[in-house]
Amino acid sequence: MPTLSKRPPTPPAKRRAASPPKPVEKPQGFFLRFYHSEDLRIKTLALLTALEQAPDPTKHRAALAELIVELSRVGMDCYFMQPIKLAKPGFIVEQTASLGISGAMTVIGSVIRNIIGRMDKAQLLSISGSIRKFMR
């Protein structure tokens, strides 16, 4: 049995035309980033410059992979471990979190090394450009 509506249906002539979907725009000026040491910044910029200026950037694959792993470790510490320590949840919780992050970083590091180790010149330059954007 059909449900009765309190409102009569709108005649077809009065229905609004569907407007085309608007393109999704990336918000400008919003960042989630962490601050790393001056030494790590210098190391990062030196490696990116060397990779970008190299006739064969693939020779820097291993160094780039290690840099990304190091940046990932620093980021995990900044975003996760430091807030945990500030919350003072207790020794066992802190140690559990630390052990979990260490294990996760071991796996993530292996994945990073595998992926970066197979990239070609254009892909490596793209990664380098992305890292530079994050550093602004």
| Cα angle 48-49-52, degrees, rounded to a multiple of 5 | 85
Q: Say what the pLDDT of residue 26 is.
A: 60
The pTM of this model reads 0.74
Q: Is residue 62 part of a domain?
A: yes
Rg of the Cα atoms in the chain: 25
Q: How many domains does the chain have?
A: 1
Q: Is residue 113 part of a domain?
A: yes
Q: Is residue 115 part of a domain?
A: yes
Q: Is residue 22 part of a domain?
A: no
Structure letter (DSSP) for residue 54: -
Flag residues of the chain having pLDDT under 70.
Answer: 1-31
